[in-house]
Structure formats: structure tokens, C-alpha cells
Structure 1
Amino acid sequence: MKRTAAILLLALVALSAFAEEKNRYADSLLHIVQTKRMTDLERAKLYADITESYCAHDMPNTFKYGTMGLEAALRCDDKALIFRFYNYIGSTYTYRCSYDTAKVYLDLQVAAAESSGNKKLVQKAWQAAGNFYARQGQFILAVESYLNILKHFDGDESSRDYIIAHGNIGECYRRMGNPKRALHYLERERVLAEQYGEPTGIGQSYRELGYVYLALGDADKALECMLKVKPKERSAPVNYADLCEALVKAYLMKGKYQEALACAAECKYAAQWLGDPYIHTLTWNIYADIYRAQGRYDECRTAALKAWSIDSVSINTAPVSAFNIAFASAMLGRRDEAARFFGLYDRMMNERTDRNYHEALSQMEVVYETEKKQQQIASLEKERGFYIVMGVSGALIFLLVFGLLFYRHRLNRGKRELAERKVKQLEQEKQLVATLALLNGETAERTRLARDLHDGLGSMLSVIKLHLHGIRNFSTLTEADTERLAKARVMLDELAVELRRVAHNLMPESLSHCGLKAALEDFCRSIPIADFRFFGEDTHLDNRLEVLIYRCAYELVNNAMKHAEASRINVQLTVDARLVSLSVQDDGRGFDPDTVTYGAGFTNIRNRISAYNGKISVYSSPGAGTEVTIEIELAS
């Protein structure tokens, strides 16, 4: 406790000293503004420096002096100063979580930067836009904004915004669960920052590298990186709170609970000092993680409920709160609450996976990293335009050289068609790459979640079950205690079955270990009304294709049970050297395929099958059941 108090006092002193120094500087500038006569331009410049001094730690004064300075800047029509004030005020609203108002100022600063013609201001505007979207967990839009900084590169590698953009892209990939991709951008940021002596980039790169190594399970390397920048981060409370959260995870991996509690206390002070709801939520989730690791389930549940009461919708914090509440409730015997929050956790994770998040991100990355292919498309488009012009010109002299023009017309038309086919082929390749990237991301996410549920909660439930079954002497128990013990065993068995079901639905182990046939057999065996038949060669297909076919079968069988009121479902898989075919047939109520409105699940199946150049056929009529057939040709 003494050590925790000492660390907390050190954080208090560091944050207070930083704020005091900034306040003294701002006060000296305010004295000049209030006592000297000056032009609007001079006044606006001083207000810009004053606002910047308050921006990191004093939101009310940031808004107050930023508004006053903006009025002066608008009067003198200085584009750079107008941009700065929009930037400062917009950032203030962002960190207050007033996103609607922040978006207004964000659009204003982007417009001001582009109208100025200054590339560095444009880079700063897109930096602010990326921060705005990342703060809300909208990482696809954040990455798009940060990539715009790289696209507006002016040749100056030492530019702070150019360096930081790499780190911000890496952070988004890290938060998206892609640590290896994040490592690429973060190492690039570290090299540039150290080469040009950019302190913010150095701090961010080491901090984020610590997060990445933590995600990769290397606690020692994570601590090495994060402890390098911890003293410097105290001047930025939001970054400091995120860093404390990561340090807590690293300390928990190494079983250092006192150090973890000390970091949590520092994060709590930063939240109280800044008044930021995001940091408050983060702090209570940190405490819940520590208490869960220590087995202090009452305190874990209390802390997680406090986090949930502050923010129950954020993609960054709400799933963590829901998981801790569910876990602690299960350990405390609160069966209904545990089931409710496990359901909420599962729903939020599925929503995060299915909101076209990874698909759009993958498409955007393909655009950025396949610039040469885009240039080829542009070149072919120009070539097609040239031949169109040639065709029109030839038509004007058709009567003079009929034979020659006819030949040239046919030749040009053939070349145009060839160019169009090449364009279409390249665009299809881009779409396939994007879809495969989505499938890879979704498969990795489902595999990780299934492993965490099975290895974490599953092993703990097994140990609890062994302890309960180890009780032999019932003579010392009352009849009521014996009944409660029996009920606890039944509830524990039910919870274990439910946990295995959720983990299996996310990513069945038999799919990765035994292949598609075994996975579908297991799945149909678990459903009383489902039969499975297999024809052909039992060979392993491409891993992504096996996952795709399994998820299609899963979705179609669930649709038959939920919507068709079927009493019998037949699943048939056929595999040979050139074709894989999946058929799901039920005896349900059926429907008219020409008039029915398909849901998001079936539309998702159709899009993914199309990415593999496959085809899907639906045969159904009211009262006559339904049969859905999927066919995909295999590469030779």
C-alpha cells in the first residue's frame, strides 16, 4: 500500500507540475493581450498560443479562449489561424465525447485546410479526423483519414504529422486485433521518429509496441517498451490512462498484483483530474481485471458494473465490462446475471465482426498497397478512351476509305473489349483480395474468442467441478445444504455445456484439426432433426474455403430451424477434384424465392460465395420445403 501511495503521489506531482507550467505560460500571454493594443492578427496569434497551452489539460479554458481567438482570426481572414482554432475547439469536444458538435468543427477545419492550399495543414486536418473516429472506435474511418496524410505526403519525412500517422495506423490495426500488421507501421514510426528526433513519435511507437507485444503474449518485451515512455506520458492523461491499462495487463500476466494496483490508482487519478468519461470507464475496467485475476469476484463485479453504468455501448470498453460482470457473476452463483451478460458479450463481439468493419478496411488497404495495379487500370482506361476517339474519327471519313475504316473499326473494337476485360479482371482481383482479407480477419477473431472461452473459463469450470465432486462426507451437511450442493453441480454442468456450445459455434476445433467433413458431422450430430451425408473424396480444402462452407451450412441450418418450422433437415456435402457442393434441404413451410426479402445473413452468404466465383441456387415453394445448393469450382 505504501508503494502504491508513493506512485500515486508521484503521478499527482507530475501532472500538477505540467499543468502549472502551462498555466503560467498562458497567464503571461493573457496579460499581454489584456494590457497592450494590437491588431486582430496579433491578438489571434496570442490567443492561438494560449488555447494550445490549455488544450491538453483544461477543456473549459480551451473552449473559452479558442472561441475568442477564432473571432479575431475570422476578422483578419487568416486561414492558418482559423484552422488552428477549429482544431483546438474540435479536439475539446471530442475528448468531452460531444461527438456531434466535434464533427461540425472537424468538417470546418478540413475545409479551412484545403482552402489554404497548405499541405501541412491538410495533413493536420486529416490527423484530427483520424483521432475523432478512433476515439469512437470507428477504426475504418480513422485509418482512411490517416492514410490521407500519407497520400498528401509533401516529401518531408521529418514532418510530425507524417511520422505520427504511421503510429496511428498501427494503433488502429492493433485495436482491430491485427498485431502483426500493426508492428509494420509502428516500427516504421519508431525508425522515423528516432532518425529525426521527434519525441511524440518516439513515445507513441514504444507505447504502442508495448501493446502489440502484450497482444502477442510477450509480457517482458511489452514492459520493456512501455516503461521507457511511462514518465513522459504523464503530461498526456488520455495516453497515460491507456498505458496504465496495458501495464496492468502485463503485470497480471507476470502475477505482479501490487504493481498492477499501483497503475490502476494512477489511472483513477488521471480520470478524476481530467473528468473524461472514457478514462473513468477504462479505470473501472482495469480494477475489474485485477480483482478477477486475484479471485476477488465481489469487487470485480462491483467495478465492472460501475464501468458499465458509465458506458454500455462503446466498442472499446463495453465488451470488457460485460465479460467481467458475467465472469464474476458466474463465480458468485448469480446464474441469471451471468447468462444475461455472457449473451450481451457474445452479441457485441458478433456485431463488431459483422458490421462490414474488416471488409471496408481491407478494401481500403488494398487500394493503398496496390497502387501499381491502380495505375494499370488508369492506363487501360486511357487506352480505351483513345480507341473510342479513333473510332469516331474513322466514322467521319467512312465514305472515302470504307474498306480500311471497316477493318480498323473492327480492330479497335477488339482492343477496347480486351482493355475492358483486363479492367474488369483487375477489379475482380481486388474484390477477391478484400473478401479473403475479411474472411481471414473473421476466422482469426472467432478462433481467438473460442480459445479464450475454452482455455480460460472452461478450465476454471472443470476445476470447480472437480472440487464439488470431491466432497464425500455428506453427513455433516444439512438436508438444505445437500440440496443446494446438488443444485450447484447441476448449474455448473449447464454452464459448462453452454460455454462449450458458444466456443464451438464461434470456431469448432474439429474444423481445424479434422477438416470440413468431420466438423459438419459434429454439427449435424448436435441437432436432433439434422442428417448429414458425404460423397466424394475426404480431402482437406483451403482453410479459408472450409471455414466459408462451414459458416454457410451453419447459417442455412439455423435459418431452417428458426424460420421454416422444419421437422427434418438434410445436409449433403460432395467433394471431388474439381468441385465442392453443399446442399441444405428441409421439409418446412417454404416460400416464393421471387418475392421473399432475404435477410443480412443470406446476403452475406451470397456475397462471399460470389468472391470465390461460386453460385448459389434456391429451390422453394410455399408448403413444399426449401433446398439451397452452393457450388464452388476448385482451382486446378
Structure 2
Amino acid sequence: MFLRSIVTVQFLFLFVSVIAQSSHKPEIDSLIKNIPAQMRSNEAVAVKMIDQLGGLSAREKHLHGITQAAFFRCWLTYRNGSADAAIRSIDSALANINAIETDSSLANFYILKGQCYVKKTQFNFAQLAFKRALSIAEQKNDVALRTSTMISIGWAYMEDGKPKEAIGFFETVLKANPAESYPNRALLLCNIAACYNTMGNFTTASTYASRGIALARSQGAMGDLANGLNILAHSFYQQGNTEKAIALLKEASMYRQKIADPSMLASDYLELANLYLKNNQPALAIEWSTKAKDSSLQHSNALKVLAAYELLANAYEVEKDAASSLEFYKKILHLKDSLSDEKYNQSMASMQVEFEAQKKQSENLELKKENLESKLRNASQQRWMILLGSGIVLFLFTGVYLQQRTKNSYRAKIIQQQLLEQKRRARDIMAAEENERSRIAADLHDGVCQTLAVASMQLRNISAEGSPISSVDDLINQAGKDIRDISHKITPELLLKEGLAKAIQRSIANLNVGENKDMFSFIYYEEVPLEDNILSLVIYRCFQELTTNIVKHADAKKAVVQLGIYTDEIQLMAEDDGKGFSNELMQTGLGLQNIRRRISLFSGTLTIDSITQKGTTITISFKDWKNKIFYDAS
């Protein structure tokens, strides 16, 4: 908990130093400059300023203002929402803001995307995002941007449990920015202190934390000051000075209140309660746990509420108040159930709302019926005519409705059968293609290769008698090797025997020889196994098409292939640093048309992101692949 106390405010520092850009619009520049400070102190004001910045920039067609407004919103989504939601916001901005690749804030999106992957503990993807940001910084020769990216990489190592590597990055940034006025200096000193705490070197941690606290006080940076006090409290506690640790945590919570940081304030309260409980002071532990509980309930932070409940249950148990302890244990179980059943609860709530609406509608209809009957009782003749007319209308309406519904149902069934038949035929055609490939491969391997082998043996016998025909033997051997290679490419036996990932790994290894040595790298993540051989084959053929295009046309130095098999999605991504290609080739390229044709059977999507002379990223996705019926399995 002490280590994570520095995380929330860190991201804001990472882009403050690279945020400025010259403009002919002073009001836009002023908003861009002042929003970060408000985001750290008063989020409500910051949100209004971001909306103002977005609207003004859109009217003025000011690219940097539009980009910065989008980035601020992504950052708030990260701080207040989930990492996945923030990643979706980032990807949307990168895809939809015209000419964003020319803006100075482009790298900030990749830095924040890396931070999102760190939050998800997907450090490989985080490093890819950070490398992209570093590449942009080096292309622009932007020292400040490169420094910000290195801070992010150091933080990623810190979160990954590698404090020594993190300290190396932080120290490098400090050496490159030795001035005491460097805005991120206090932050870096506190980060290093947190790393030394993790390593158990509490004396050194205290030294760095004290330096960071002093600098933060002089600069009036209350967020850094609160973090430094929190880290120093951890150092003192580990050295046996619990009273000093408690005093520092109280001071840290005071600054959290000033900058209105409810999440970290609750963390400070929980740490105070935990120290009091360990110090055998359950009454004070109950007091501070209650504060944490109230604050977390007010801001709907379920995880912090759960932690407060656990501390309160333990504290009341030490106080020998069994009834109160049992009450909070019940609340813990109830809250855990509610968290695990959140989707179920949402569905039930939706059904309850729908039920109430239908109930209200029924009551209204009943009331209308009673009013109608009251009126009809006053005029018997009018009542019977209305009833007769209503009955005829209802009968006609019902007949028309049932007829139309029957027609629609029949049409939908016919369309569905046609679609299934088309997909079944396409699947059969694909299977026939692969069977023919297998037959050709077997014929090449068992027929022509064996014949060439026998011919080679006979030629060697003749050569042994003194005839100069060794060169012919070499040519025949080379022909046999080429035919075996063709046979293996036509039918990937490794795919059928050991699965998609092994087949791609073997192909990557074969690609990384000769002129393409170490060009390709492969990242693989599997949540669930892929047991559909046809779908595996389609993905493998797409992989072959993508890597062939990279080798033949991209003029790339490095390329990364990523395969992720998740419960709700399969994603194949190929990214290179080559010369890119035009929009026309995206639509007319034969290889891409082949890919689109293959994946259409499985409702797959193809996304292309190519920038001339800067590289290409192609993503193939199969959404909800486990729940879709692509063809008749029978």
C-alpha cells in the first residue's frame, strides 16, 4: 500500500513538462497550461475547463487544443475508471483525431497507455507502448519527452517488483536534470525511497524520502509532500518507530484533504488504523478505520470499503466486542458477494425497472378501462357500439399483426438458413483447399523427394567410380530440400500436432535467419485454449500473409507479431517500422483481400494503421469467438 501511494499523482507530472506548444490562441494556451494544476487540486473545475478547451479548440480548428482536451479526458478516465476504459479512450483518440501524429502530445498517449498496461500487470505490452513513446521522442529530438518516458519505464519496473532496475532509470533522469528547480525532482526522490523500502534498505529510503519532502515543501507541491510523508512513515515503522510513523501519516492525510484526493486519503486512514491495531490500540484503530469507511462509501470506492470493514472486524475482535466484530464480518461477506455478482445485480435491477414500468403501464390501462366502462354505463347503446367496433378493430389488428409476424419469422428463418448454408459451403471449400494442399504436400514428399533421393544415391555411386558429376548431385539435393520446404509450407503439420502458437514460433524462427536475422519477435498470451483447427488454420494463413508482406514490401528493420487468445476475443497483431503504404494499397492489395476473404467466414475484422516512413500496424480480431456458431460442426 505504501508503494502504490505514489502512483495516482505521478502521471500528471509526466506530461506537464512536455505540454507547452506555441500557439496563436492565448486563451487555448492558458487553458492547456492551467488544467493540470486543477486536475491535481479540484477535479470538478478541471472538467469544466477541459470542456471549454475542447469546444474552443473545435471552433478554432486548433489541433493541439483538440489533442490536449482528448488526452486530459483519457487521463481522468484512467484515474477514476478502469485501465481498459482508458485504453479504449486512448485508441479512439489516436484513430479519430486527424493529423494527431504531427502533434507534440502524441507520445503522451502512448505513455499513458503503457501506464494502463502496468495497472493491468501486462508489462510486456506496457514496454511496447513506452518504446513507441521513446521512438517518437528521439524522432523529434525532444529531451523532456524522453525524460518523461524514462520515468514511466522506471515506475513500470517498480510495479513489476524490480526496484533495482527502477532506481537505475530514476537516477539517470536525476543526473540529466541536476537543477533543484526540476519539476519532477521531488517525485523521483520519493520513488527511489519507495524502491529502497521494497528492498529492505530503510535507512537509505529515509534519506531519499526526507530530501523529497524538503523539496516538495519548498515548491508547495502538496501531492508529492503527502507521498513522501507516507513513504517515510513506512521506513520509520519498519525501523521500529511506530509513533513517528503515525505522526507522519496524520500529516500526510492533512495534505490529502487539502488537495481533495479521496482515494489516497482513505489509504492513509487505513494505514493509520493498521498501525494502531498492530500497536495494540484497537480503539484508535476503530476511529481511523471508520473515517476510511465513511470516506470510501461517500466516493463509492468498494475496495477501500472492504479493507475498512476487515480492519474494523479485527479491531472489534481485539476489543472483545464479538457482536460488532460479527456485524462487520457479515458486511464483508455481503460486500464480497455484491462485488462478485455485480453483473447479476445490474441485470436484476434492469429487470426490476422493466417490471415496474410494465406494472405502471398495466395500472394505467386498468384505470382507462374503468373510466371507459363508467362512461359506457351512462349510454347503453353507445357502449355496445363502441365495444363492437373495438372488437372488430382488435380482431383485424390481431390478424394483420399475426400474419406480419409469421411472414417476418419465416423470412428471418430463410435468411438464417441461407447464411448458414453459405458459411457451410465456404468452410467446405476451405477444408477442400487444405485437403488438396495436404495431398500435394504428401505427393511431393513421398513421390518426387524419394525419386530424387534414389537418383542422388545412384549418382554418388557413379561419382565414386571417378565420373565428375558431383555438381549434379548437389543440384538434386538442393531440389529435394526445396521440395521439402514447399511441402511443409503447404501443410503446416506442426499446427495440427502442437497448436497455433508452436507453429507461429517455428515460422518466426525460420524467418529470423539469413538477411532477416533477429528481425521478428513474437509475444503470445493465452487465457483459454484454441481447439478449433479450422479457425487456427485461418489465423495461421493470415500470419503467413502478413509476415510475407513485411519481408517483401515493408523494408523494415524490426517487426513484432502478437497473438492473444482471450475468453471474449482472439487478436493477431503485426507491427513493423518499415516504410508503410498508401490508402489505395490498403483497399486493392491482393494479400489483404485474401485475409479479408478468410476471416469473413468467422466474422473477423481487419484494422490497418499505416504512416508513410513510420511503420504499419495491422490487427485481426475475432470478437466473442467462443459464443458464435460459424459453421455446422456436424
Task: Flag whether TM exceeds 0.5 (same fold).
Answer: no
Q: Who wins on radius of gyration, i.e. which is larger?
A: 2
TM-score (norm: length of structure 1): 0.39
